[in-house]
Structures are given as C-alpha cells and as structure tokens.
Structure 1
Amino acid sequence: MRNTSNVSSGPVTPTTHVLPEVHRWLDSVRVITKTVATGQPLPEVLDLIALTAASLMGYEFCGVLIPDPERRTLTIEGSSGLSADYLAQVNADRPVRLDQPTTMEAPSSTAFRTGSPRAIADIEREPQFAPWGGVAKEQGYRSMISVPLMQSPDLAIGTLNCYRRSTHNFGEQEIALLTVLADHAAIALTTARLRSEEARRMDELLVLNNELHQQRDLLQKSEDIHRKLTEIALRGGGVAGIATALSILISRAILIEDTQSGVLGQSSRTVAFPDDRTELHADGEFRCHPVLLAGSEVARIWIAPGSSALSSIDERAVEHAALVTSLEVLRSRTADEVQWRLHGDLVSDLLGGEPGALDTVVERAARLGHDLSLGHSIVVVALSGVQTGQVDNCLQQAVRRVHLWAETATPRPLSAIHHDRIVVLIPDVGQSRTARDSAADRIRSLTGSHTPHAVATAVTVGPCTQVGEYTRAHRSAVGALGMLALTGKRDTTVSLDDLGLVGLLLQLDDTSQLLSFADRTLGPVRSHDIARGTDLMKTLRAYVASGLASGDTARALHVHANTVGQRLRRIQTLTGKDLARPDHAMEVAVALTVGDVGEASSLV
C-alpha cells in the first residue's frame, strides 16, 4: 500500500492561475453583453469596449474607430483614457483615411483593410505614423496596436486601438487575446447597431402611427365640418348661413362677397370690414380665400384677424366653406337664370305689344309675384363705357343688384334685361313724383356701381295703367336715352317731363313727319358736312345750346370767334334762314331738336 501521508500538495498548477483570469474576462464580456441587451446607446457601448480592453490588458489608452457611411475615414467614437482634445484633433484634423495608397496609410487603415492586426512597437521609428506624431506626443503614448472588428471574414466594421506610454513589443499571445476581445466587441457592436436600428424603426412606426391617428382625426373633423356646412346650404341658409357657421368653426369674423365686392354673407355686424377690401388684402391682417367655380373666381371669403394663426383644421374648414359657397353660388345662379329668363320673357312680351302675348302677361306676372293690375312707372337704364366682351356680365351683375333691392320693396318691382338695357317696372301705389324719381335714381346707381368705367343713364316714364300702354312708354324712354346720348348727357336720371318739348315729341307715335320737317330745314347743312367734312351741324348745336352767343360758342368749340362767324354765315346761306331774326332762329332750333328726337326714336 502507497503511503499518501507524505505526499506533498506540490506547486500550484497553471490552471489555478488561469481560472481567475478567465472569470475576469468572462465577467467583462458579460458586462458588455448586458449593456447591449439593455439597449444602452451605441456611444456607451463603444466606450465600454474601450474601457474593457484597457482594463483587461493593462493599456493606458484605448479607442474604438468606426468608418463613416461612405467608408472613407475612421473616427474615434468610443474611448478610454484619451483626452477630449486628442479626440477632437484626430477626428477633426487628422481622421484616418481609408482611401490613401498603401504606402501612406495609417496602422488603423491597414488593419481595417486587411482584416489583420497591425502593431507598432515605437511610433517614433514608424514614418507612416508621422501625421499623428504630434497628437501622440501630447497624449503621451509611444506604442500602439490596431485590431480589426470583423462582422464577417470579409467585412470589417471598425478597429480596436490600444496604446502604451512606452515602447512595447506586442507578442503573439497578447495579440491573440486582443483578437478574441475584438471578436466579442464586433458581435456587441453589430448587435447594438441592430438594436439601435430596430429602435429607430420603432420610433418611426410610432411617429407614423401617430400621424395616421392625426390624419384620421383630421379627416373625421373635416367630414364633420363638411356635413355641417352642407346641411346649412340644404336647409336654405344660403351664403349668409355659411358665413355664420364658418365664423363659429374658426372663431373669426367672416365676410363673403361676390367678384363685384357685393356682400353675399357676413357673420357679424360688430366687426368692421372696410369698404376698400383690396387694402385689407395688402396689409396682411385680413386673409382672402378665393371661391372657384369651374376654375373661375365667383366669390371671396374674407377672414378677420385672430389671436393666433389658423390651425390645419381651421384651414380645412375654410376650404370646405369655399366649396359649399361655390355650390351655393351655382344654385343661386341657376335659380337667378331661370327667374331672369321668366322675367325677361314676360317683360319682352309686355313691351312688344303683341295682342296674343298681352292676353296672358297679367296672369304670368301674378305667378311670379307681380301685380300688373296696378299702375307701374317704367325705368329704363342704359350702360356706356363698358368693353364689348363685358356687357353681358355687367348687365347680369346689375340686374342681380336691382333684383336684391326689389326684394325689399312692397309691392315688388319687376326687373329684367331687355335689348341690352335694364328695364324696371315700379308699382305706383300713390307715390309722389319725388319718391318715383328717388327710386329711379337708386336703380341707376345700383346698375352702374361696382363696374369700373361704367356709366349708367336712366329715363323714367309713366305711370302706365293698362298693359297696352307699356309699349309706347318704353319706346319713349328709349328715345329719350338716345336723345341724351346724342347731346352728350350721361350719368343722370331724367323723366319725360324734365325734357319739356322733347318729352312731348318723343311720345308721338309717328316720327316720320318730324324727320321730314327737320330734313327740309337742316338737310342742306347735313349734306354739306358729309360732302365737305365740315362741322356745321356741331357748330349749330353749340350755338343753340349757348343761347345764340357767338363768343360762348367759340369757347365751347375751342375755336376762334371769327371761325364761328364764318360757319354761321355758311349755315344761313344753306338754310336761307337769318339767325339774327328770332322767328328764323326758333325755326332752326326746333328743326334741330325735332331731328334729334326723330333720330333717337329710330334707335328704338
């Protein structure tokens, strides 16, 4: 039997020394793994890798270098022991280039490119390290090693750089241990990046989800707004109701106008919208939103200033209000066009005087809300100064304004467009001459307003008590408008009574005798003007208008008095009339007036 009592325990085996070191390494790797698993930020993971390498291997300084997205440079993104100045100088001024020739590349670049460690025992003896010699001396290291962080056998994702203060030969076992640590670091770095990317995508998904919820809410609110505004239009609230509803939705005063600045709806009378709303748009306080129909602007929504900017849902409300307003304008236009056509047909038949048509006009007028059993004065308005292409639009805008005015009167006047003029029949309910003239002037004002350069001239005739009287009254009014145009009188309201003798002559049924008398007296003068290109008729008209005063005539025509005298002598020769004789002068003046009346009547 072996005596075991004398057996010595012997020296400590290598395993006894290795186990604590292995535990230390495993604990360090476990810390890195836990840091990654808990989702710590990538810079903290990189700093931990550098700190672990320095602690396990006893290095004074360590750094983790990561390539930029284009893989052109390496910069220090994690470190242990390296000063902030060193990091700033290397990253900003001396980054490790990955696109340098191999003869000039840095140790880190070589390790990253080849996938193999690169060690320098003494950097002062290494020419390729010269660009970093200054910062190395400031930091205080003399030797270094760069070990690649390999994601796969062919792909490096960074380097682990370790530095010593003194010169140092990095042995095979040391390099092997660093390589093992670098492999764990590469796994940790890859995992951290994946977690970071996953977190970023989750954040993006959360943002997208929130945006989708917001869009859903916005769409729901938008639908609610559209429903409310549409219900108002369907209930007959009109543009005024839309303005009130929009004002409540966005907490701003609202004014909706047509393209002629006519107010269609206003939410509040306490908030003053100035008459010149072009200035509102210019100062930036009031906002203007166009209302479009078939691509053309038909109205404008004016929004008063508020305490804060409009939100996105407020903007949606304005857009929906513009859409519903355009539909309301279309509906109103369609109704107006039907009404205008019915009124126009009625007025046309009434003024045309055809017996078959006159038999039904009273009944048709009653169905439209007008009582032709009452006497009516006729107001006929002519527009001048309007471009040819704008005449129809101006007339429609004018009759719309007259119609809105008529809606406020009882009994209701009848208005229509007839032969490019506005014709309004005003019921005669015991009104005075002053009241009739005031109503006629109001109609003329409504017709010519809001249209640049347009001038309205109105003539009032009547009242007519029988349907058969309207034809003659209308013809007299049109003749009077022609007389006013011939004599250059515009932008005024007159009645036949105001025209005296001319008014009486315009009421004659047969104007042929008038024209015959005028032609016998002044025909030679007209013929002379046509043949010679002279202005004798113009001179004669000015002479009569100035009360037979030659001096005033010369000033009115901007010619010398001698010129006027010569022309008057030529007129006397052609007519055989002595203008110095009162009876001859009166005959010439009457012929001039009668001729104008006959010519004006021929324009009907």
Structure 2
Amino acid sequence: MPQIALELLRLLAQDAPAEQLDASARELAADDPATAAAARELAMRVRAGVDASRRREAELSALVETARELASRSDPGAVLEAIVQRARALVGADVSYLALHDPDRGDTYMRATAGSVSARFQALRLPLGAGLGGLVAQTERPYWTPDYPTDDRYRHTTEIDAAVAEEGLIAICGVPLLVDGAFVGVLFAANRSYRPFRRDEVALLGSLGALAAVSLVQSRRAAEAAAALDALSAAHGGIEQAAAAHDRFTALVLAGGDVADIAAALGEVLGCWVVVLDDEGVRLAGHGAAPAPGEGVDPLAEAPAVRESEGTGRLAAADGLWAVSVTAAGQRLGTVALGGRDALDAGQGRTVERAAMVTALLLNLRMRAAEAERRTRTELLGDLVARPAGATADRDLVQRGKLVGARLTAPHVVAVVHCAPERRRAVAFAAASGAALAAEQGDAVVVLVPGEDASAVADDLARRLGGVEPATVGAAGPVVPARGLAGAHAEARRTADALLALGLPGRGAAAADLGFAGLVIGGERADVDGYLDRVLGPLADYDDRRGSDLVGTLAAWFATGGGHRAAAAELHVHPNTVAQRLGRIGALLGPDWQEPERALELQLALRLRRLRVNG
C-alpha cells in the first residue's frame, strides 16, 4: 500500500492525466488488489477535482475576456458576430447561432450564425412554443437535447425540421437572453452528432447569454444615441452649430461621456448656462454661470418653466429660462434647464429637446448599469453571508469580488444597519462609499468595510447614515470575507438588535463595546462563548500555553475581596505568588482591569465560566 500510494501521489504531483493514473494503479494492484482499488479511486477523485477547478477557472477567464471584447464593440452587428463566435468556441460546438425577438410578429428570427452552411437554416423564424428555440422563447428558460430529430418533448414543425435537417444538426442547447426581465432573444450551441450537454456547459452558455444580452442592449442604445445625435445636428438652424453639436455629442456619447459632458457641449453650442436636474430636483451637472442652488430646495427645481415642462414633457419657457423634461420609456429622469441668452429660435429649441433625448439615453444607461452592479454586489454579499465562518477561501468568490473591486482575502469588518424600511435602498447606496460591498439583506442593510476596527466602523456608519431618521449599526470583525461571514454577520446583527433593545437607536457599536449588557439583551441568541473569549481570552490563552492558573487566581482574588493573603490561603500558595500572578494579569488585561466597570465585567465573565465548567 505505501508503494502504491507514493506512486500515485508522485503522478498527481507531476500533473499526470487520469489515464496514466489508472494505468499505474492497475500495474501496482497485483499484490494487494483491494487496497490498490481504494487508492486508485481516491487518486482519480483528486484528479477529477483538479480538472474541474481548472475548467471553472478557464471558463471564468473566458467570460471575463468575452465581456471585455463585447464592451469594446459599439456596432450591434459586430456584437452579434462576436457573441456567436465566442459561444461556439467556449462550448466546443459545431454551430452556434442567435435568434432575436420580434415583438411585432411575436416570434424570433435568425440574426447571426457561426459554423452554419445552410441558407434555409440561416433564414429560419421560430414561432413561440415551436421547436426547442420556440420553447425557450416562450418559457424564458434553457432547454437542451442530445438528439433533437427524435426528441418528442418539443413541438416539431415541417419548416423547422427541414431547416435543421439541411444544416445536419442533432444535439441542440438554447438559453434565453434576458435584460432586467425583458426577453431579447435566444443563444444556441449545436452539434452535428449525438451529444448529451452537461449541466456545467448549459450554465456556461447561460452566463455567456447574460453577458451577450446586456452588451446587445447597450450597443443598440449606443446606435440609437448616435442616430439621435444625427437628428439633432440635422435639425439645428446653423451649419456651424450643427457640425459642432454632431461632432462633439457623437464623440462624447460613443467615447463614454457623461451628462456633465453633454451639458457643457450644449452650453457652448448655444452660448448659455446649462443645468441638469435629476427627478428629485438635485443638480447632476452644470455649465456656465447658472443661478446658485442655495440651501434647501433648488430654486431651479421650482421655476415655472421647469414645472410646466414636467407636466407637458415638452420645451417650456418662462422668466428668461427654458426647460425640457428628460424622459425614457415613459419615466421622468430629470430636467435640462438653461438660460442667460436671448430667445431660442425653432431650430435651437429642437436642439435643446434633442440634447434632452441624448441625456435621457445616458441617464437610462447609467441607471441600468447601476442596477446591474447593485444586483451583482447583492448576490455576492448574500453568498458571503451564507457561507459558514472558517471555510476554505473560495476561488470563485474571490474572482467575483475582484470584478467589483473588492479584495475578499483581506481583513474586513461586517456591519448590520437597522433603519426605516423605506430608507434601506438609500442607506445601502450611501454606505457604499468607502465600503467593499453594501446591500439590502432581509430586514436590514449589510455593509462590508475593509479594516480591522469594528467599533470605529460602526461609529462612522452610524454618523454618516443617520439623519432625520436614525441608523443603528452593529459591527463585528475583523474577518476574511472569502472564508465566510456567517458568524461575524450573526454577531453584528445581535449587536444592532441589542442597541435597539437598550433604547439606543442611531448609535453604532461592536459587541465588545456593549459588554455584559449586550449579552443580557441577546436573549436566546446571546453569544456567551464570544463574550468569555473577549473578556477572559488573554488569561485563558496564557494558562493553556504555560500551564498556569491566572483565571483561578483572579477568581480567588475577587472572591476574597481583593486581599492577597486571603486569596493565597484560598489557593494554597504564598502571598508573593499571588502578587506575581496579579502583575501578570495586569500586563495581559491592561492597567484598568481593577476599575469598577472593568472589574464588574471580569467578575460576571468568571461567574459565567464557572457555571459553564460546573454545569
């Protein structure tokens, strides 16, 4: 057995393939077949685990590279071609293709293919519910089959079956393309021979489909923005102004410009000041000598022109100020206001309205991107909170953290924030400043902050997030997030609950700050072990390492009223020994250990410990 095990370990260390491991195990099985079989089974399991981990790492890298490639393309046609080429390569399929949803006709139509040779197949339309792709479109769920022509789970039609037969397809897998719950199309991978698709392959195709859906929608909107800018330039009254607006707006939008860049460009084209307000009247951007916002409600938000435009959705003018609402998909996102110039002619008015349209596209893109990132962070934080404390660092979680800028292998503090339900989203957004992750989780907001001082983090969050309505913060840590946050999250929640039970809303604290008060209020969820470790841990650790009895000495000293001789008699040692031990206790606990408040904590912890030991 040792010889078999050593040989298999050597092969594993050399990264030998499974076939070589199997062959070597069989060669060595002559003397002890049963033992060799067990060793072979263990070695093959280790090999399979290593292969699976490498495959997952390669898939993640491929998806990240795919996201970079799709983000670099602005033409919808180029994005579609890149998607099907990537799908074919990632899944190892003979053919990949993408069908887009046609809301006017209520079906999907073939839009891009890779590896296809049939013109009939490339022109195919899939009614909802018909064939595998039509079922994916109808249910918005993935489906796959190793042998489509003979699979009676799907509603076969003459047109679909003829096109599939002409292409020679046998195995087909399709996943839906969804963006914010809206159906965009179906992404397929197919083979011209029998192939049972594995679940991890379906999941990989689904992940690519999610990236593809977002990239496709973004590229469409970029094209729409470019078209809107073309229309803006055409409607402009002056050739010079039209050229300037077209060149500048197009360059800004397609190069990733923000609302502030559009406001500045519009102000320079029309020679005026420009302010962009959000839907709550808060300034998002400005250009030129606009009126000061003042304190409280911005006067521009209350201006008659702004109010009129909010009601009509059109350009309005009053008191030397012009305003037009910024809307997208029937939702008002804000207002573009401008002034400081003479009256606008018809062409200049259309310029302002077109600028508002471009601003709406940018705000809508920013809102959707923020929502997508919020969901990503919420899901990651939920997975970390659900992971048991002390688990091995998860490579997938670490990589997901890197994608959102969080170093999950470094020390962090976990905080739980209690606030009014209607404030949770705003509190999560405000808490994200300086945090690795912040999101709503159940009836609270959970925040993950880089650092090691839980008390300082709790104080800072309570101060920053409080206002008219208080935010109560319990914190725990430090902890390495990739190893699980379940324990730290539970401690932070207990601390936040204890603050509310103590009548201290709007305060921030770590468990150590509450002392025995947090333990008492904790009820059935009280963390007695954690409390004992915080209060007596340094002494207990010292006793375990040195074989001493500092805990017992401290208990005897308190029990005898703080007298060295009485404690010595209780312990059956010399008074000098008690004095030496008390000196060591002071060095471990700090010079304030005899102060009334600290002494009370120590006596309570000693009594709880004695009850634990004798109970």
TM class, shorter-length: 0.3 to 0.5
Q: TM-score, normalised by structure 1?
A: 0.40
Larger Rg: 1
Q: TM-score, normalised by structure 2?
A: 0.39
Structure with more relative contact order (C-alpha pairs < 8 Å, separation 6 or more): 1
